[in-house]
Amino acid sequence: MEWYTVGLGLMGLLLLFISIGLPIPFAMAAASVPFLLSIQDFSTTLVTAELKLWGVWVDYILLAVPLFVLLGELIGRSAIGPNLYWFMHSNVPVRGSAAYGSIGACAGFGAVCGSSMVGSLTIGGVALPEMLKLGYGKRLSSGVLAAGGTLSVLIPPSLILLFYGIVTDQSIGELFIAGVIPGLVLVSLFGIIVAIWGWLKPEDVPAGDESTPIPWGLALSAVLPVLIIGLIITVSIYTGIATPTEAAGISCVATVLMAFAVGGLTWQGFLAAVRSTMQTMGYLGLLLSAGVLFGFVMTYYQVPQQFTELFVEMQLSPYMVLAAIIVFYIVLGMFLEPVSMTFITLPTLFPLVSAAGFDLVWFGVIYTITMEVAVLTPPVGLNLFVIQGLARKDITIGDVIMGCLPFIGALIFLLMLLVMVPDTALWLPGIME
């Protein structure tokens, strides 16, 4: 069977199964089965599927995923996240402090949580009602919080960077540190957007925020855990003291202790965090397993290698290849969520990026930013629906989409900056070596 027949057949079956409503993990597995049966008999196919599925669940590196998910859930269900937002804008004598505080709180939360959706839910659940009550415009309030959640995906630890590293076999530590400077640049860009918005539409940004000053004890109970957890993760990984999995385990234990000690976490909240982590990992685990099966079929028929050779023979310039891949992901992101895209498309496309001569750590940051655009673009922009769901009666999905447009512009600007100045992502990993 020719490689292009397999590639088109896999994608055609996948789209067919998704269109009839089959969940993506089952759609990927179902699309793989006919081609597995063409390689080997039924009994051998069952054994292969079992081995591939089992291999995912016992992978040491993948143990970091549930630990980072649990870490984010614990922070979200304690008072640490809400108090962090309160601290960021409390008693700050700056016009628009609640909007700037939302960005700062999302960035701080991103330093301990790798999930965009959890970031938007945690900070947005507290900040959105507060901003609306203070008189901020609906579009600004919803846009800044939907976009702010994407900071959790870029600022380490990041689940998307973690998955990217697993698929492409790149150093997780290098990927994490490569995201630091672009993440800080993005925070600055979001702040500039709020300032320009307030200048162009002063009615959307109140002259002063009459917020109750946060007591110092509560401020410390919010800031110190985030600093401690962030330092445990970054220092232990970047200095080589611990692997990402070990760092995730240590930081998770520290989070449990601090969430109970100073975050007001209850036993019911802890159980809810564990339950939510299990639900998330049930989906992610199936997706990872199906992705491995899907990838096995593609690798057996050499679809990624042949696809790369085809593009090389076309003699396109490296930047034309890069531009085509970025546009492809931005369009695909309108219909698929980031984790699914990672396991469906990345095994085929990352060899093409490598053949074009680009650094795969640098491209990991590029890829992650395109995933941030994906969660802000309809019709399947996860963060759009998270924020709209938090204020169903007050804000329409149209308001959220319009509010996100300037922030999507900032993400695209950051992509252009990284292409023009690759050291924006590569300088920090370079000096850490």
Decide if 187 contacts 67 (C-beta within 8 A): no
- Report pLDDT for 407: 93
309, 311, 322 from 314: Cα distances, Å: 9, 5, 14
Q: Mean pLDDT: which of 72-86, 265-279, 342-356, 404-418 is highest?
A: 404-418
Average pLDDT of the chain, as a whole number: 83
What pLDDT, in 10s, does the model give residues 314-335? 777 888 889 888 988 888 877 7
Q: d(Cα 128, Cα 130) in Å, to the nearest integer?
A: 5
**Confidence at 211, pLDDT banded by 50, 70, 90:** low
Q: Under 8 Å CB-to-CB from 402, ≥6 apart: which residues?
A: 139, 143
- Report pLDDT for 3: 76
State yes or no: pLDDT of 279 exceeds 70: yes
Q: Mean pLDDT: which of 9-23, 31-45, 239-253, 403-417 is highest?
A: 403-417
- Report pLDDT for 355: 85
Q: What letter represents residue 15's amino acid?
A: L
- Report pLDDT for 92: 65
pTM: 0.84
State yes or no: pLDDT of 433 exceeds 70: no
Question: Quick one: average pLDDT of 20-26?
Answer: 83
Q: Mean pLDDT: which of 28-42, 81-95, 376-390 is highest?
A: 28-42
Listed range (47-61, 104-118, 193-207, 369-383) with the worst mean pLDDT: 47-61
